[in-house]
């Protein structure tokens, strides 16, 4: 049987998990998701327009709206149920949500900043970076965040043990069973960081890399120099 491609995993991971996502992402990362999002926020310049690619339930979108009350923020996501949770929670007039596939992004405006947490590993950088560039203003910034497989052997073995435990927990949380079982392999095999950095450089972006929490996640930024 053919292995799932990262993009094939998206409906399997997300179609039935929207209602519990906010709490699950927090406890499964021991609260690090909050810290990682604070680090993403530090990278965002004060600007007029921000796009949250794969906004999910809007956790980061609403944090951006709070930090930048004068910015117009658009969140896009491919999964209807996640967008419905985001729309229901939305207290901000400056925030709007749309259903779109990030790799086929087609919006009638350009943004000062495009931000995304946890999308890179599901997408092909050769598709995603050009569409982002088509939607980015001159001197605009792309900020990508996702999990990475730790480098140190001690951290790697703790990380692997943790995912074995999570895969057992998955038997008690059926909607999350496939995520807990298949996510570690995806993170171990993805080369998103190197691949996106290379494609960004090929398109003339000035890149910067920040590793987080013993290399278990990273933020890659690229600035479109005019
Ligand atoms: C783990 S959630 C992250 C949500 C949010 N960014 C956050 O940090 O809380 C991943 C999200 O990526 C979305 N996604 C995956 N591939 C996508 C694509 N090609 N286009 C748009 N959204 C996508 C999924 O629907 C899901 O909502």
Q: What percent of the chain has pLDDT over 70?
A: 98
Task: Calculate mean pLDDT across residues 43-59.
Answer: 98
Please identify, by atom number, the ligand 1 atom nearest to the C-alpha of residue 37. Answer: 8
Task: Calculate mean pLDDT across residues 1-13.
Answer: 81
117 Cβ closer than 6 Å to some ligand 1 atom: yes
**Nearest C-alpha to atom 26 of ligand 1 is from which residue?**
56
101 Cβ closer than 6 Å to some ligand 1 atom: yes
Q: What is the pLDDT of residues 112-131, one digit of tens each?
A: 999 999 999 999 999 999 99
Name the superfamily (CATH) of residues 6-224.
Answer: Vaccinia Virus protein VP39 (3.40.50.150)
With cut-offs at 50, 70 and 90, classify the pLDDT of residue 1. Answer: very low
13 Cβ closer than 6 Å to some ligand 1 atom: no
**Nearest C-alpha to atom 8 of ligand 1 is from which residue?**
117
Cα gap 14→3, rounded to integer Å = 18
Cα gap 195→7, rounded to integer Å = 16
Task: Report in angstroms the alpha-carbon separations of 183 from 9, 99, 179.
Answer: 9, 24, 5
103 Cβ closer than 6 Å to some ligand 1 atom: yes
Please answer whether residues 61 and 44 qualify as being in contact, where contact means their C-beta atoms are separated by less than 8 angstroms: no
Q: How does the average pLDDT of the chain come out, rounded?
A: 96
Statement: residue 37 has pLDDT above 60: yes
Please answer whether residues 100 and 122 qualify as being in contact, where contact means their C-beta atoms are separated by less than 8 angstroms: no
Please identify, by atom number, the ligand 1 atom nearest to the C-alpha of residue 82. Answer: 27
Q: What is the pLDDT of residues 138-159, one digit of tens each?
A: 999 999 999 999 999 999 999 9
Please identify, by atom number, the ligand 1 atom nearest to the C-alpha of residue 33. Answer: 8
- What integer pLDDT is reported at residue 4 of this predicted model? 63
- What integer pLDDT is reported at residue 226 of this predicted model? 75
150 Cβ closer than 6 Å to some ligand 1 atom: no
Statement: residue 188 has pLDDT above 70: yes
Best substitution site from 63, 77, 132 to test ligand 1's pocket, by max atoms within 8 Å of Cβ? 77
Burial 154-190 (b: 16+ CB within 10 A, else e): eebeebeeebeebbeebeeeebbebbbebbbebbeeb
Longest dimension (CA), the chain: 51
51 Cβ closer than 6 Å to some ligand 1 atom: no
Cα gap 43→204, rounded to integer Å = 19
């Amino acid at each position: 049987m053919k292995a799932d491609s990262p993009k094939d995993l998206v409906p399997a991971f997300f179609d039935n998990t929207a209602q519990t996502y906010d709490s699950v992402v927090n406890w499964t990362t021991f609260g690090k998701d909050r810290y990682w999002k604070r680090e993403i926020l530090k990278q965002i310049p004060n600007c007029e327009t921000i796009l949250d690619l794969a906004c999910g339930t809007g956790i980061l979108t609403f944090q951006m709206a709070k930090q930048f009350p004068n910015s117009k923020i658009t969140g896009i996501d491919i999964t209807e149920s996640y967008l419905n949770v985001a729309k229901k929670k939305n207290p901000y007039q400056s925030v709007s949500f749309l259903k779109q596939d990030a790799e086929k992004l087609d919006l009638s405006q350009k943004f000062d900043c495009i931000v995304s947490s946890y999308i890179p590993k599901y997408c092909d950088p050769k598709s995603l970076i050009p569409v982002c560039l088509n939607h980015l203003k001159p001197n605009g910034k792309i900020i990508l965040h996702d999990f990475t497989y730790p480098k140190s052997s001690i951290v790697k073995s703790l990380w692997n043990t943790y995912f074995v435990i999570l895969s057992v927990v998955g038997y008690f949380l059926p909607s999350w069973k496939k995520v807990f079982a298949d996510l570690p392999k995806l993170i171990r095999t993805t080369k998103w960081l190197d691949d996106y950095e290379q494609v960004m450089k090929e398109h003339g972006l000035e890149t910067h890399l920040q590793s987080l929490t013993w290399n278990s996640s990273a933020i890659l930024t690229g600035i479109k120099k005019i």
